[in-house]
Amino acid sequence: MQQEQNLISWQDFEKIDVRVGTIIKAEPFPKAKKPAYQLTIDFGDPLGIKQSSAQITKHYSPEQLIGKQIIAVVNFPKKQIANFFSECLVLGVYDENNDVVLLRPDHAVSNGTKMG
C-alpha cells in the first residue's frame, strides 16, 4: 500500500518543467566533490543551451554521452558547484551499487519536448 505522507497535488506537479535535451558536450569535472561531468545540453527553442553537473561517471564516458538525449528539470534556479553553475537537473535512478543510470526517452524526440 502506498504511503500518503509524501503526496503532492496536481498543481504542485505542474510546476515542474521536465524537458528532453541532447548532450552536445561532456567533460570531466575535477573540482566537484564527487566524480562528475560538466554537461552542455541543447534543449532547442526557446530554452536553448543549458549546463549541468551530473554524477554519472560509473556508467558513462564523456564520449558515450555526446548525442544522447536525456530528461531534465529545467526550471530550478542555478546552483553553483565549485566554479560551475548548473542550470538544470539531469534525471536518473540509482542502480544496486548506488550509481546513477540516466532517464532517457526510448525513441528520439525533438529537443525541448515537455514531459506530458
| Arithmetic mean of pLDDT, 65-93 | 97
60 contacts: CB under 8 Å, gap ≥ 6: 26, 37, 102
Digit-coded pLDDT (tens) for 90-108: 999 999 999 999 999 999 9
Instruction: State yes or no: pLDDT of 2 exceeds 80.
Output: no
Instruction: State yes or no: pLDDT of 1 exceeds 70.
Output: no
pLDDT of the residue at 116:
77
Instruction: State yes or no: pLDDT of 4 exceeds 80.
Output: no
pLDDT of the residue at 3:
59
The answer to whether 104 and 70 have CB atoms below 8 angstroms apart is yes
Digit-coded pLDDT (tens) for 46-65: 999 999 999 999 999 999 99
Cα–Cα distance between 41 and 4 in angstroms, integer? 35
Query: What's the whole-model pTM score?
Result: 0.91
Cα–Cα distance between 34 and 28 in angstroms, integer? 11
Sequential DSSP letters for 87-110: -SEE-EEE-TTS-EEE---SS---
The answer to whether 52 and 92 have CB atoms below 8 angstroms apart is no
More confident residue, 7 or 1: 7
Sequential DSSP letters for 39-76: EEEE--TTT-EEEEEE--TTT--HHHHTT-EEEEE--S
Q: Could you name the CATH architecture of 17-102?
A: Beta Barrel (2.40)
Strand partners, 52: 39
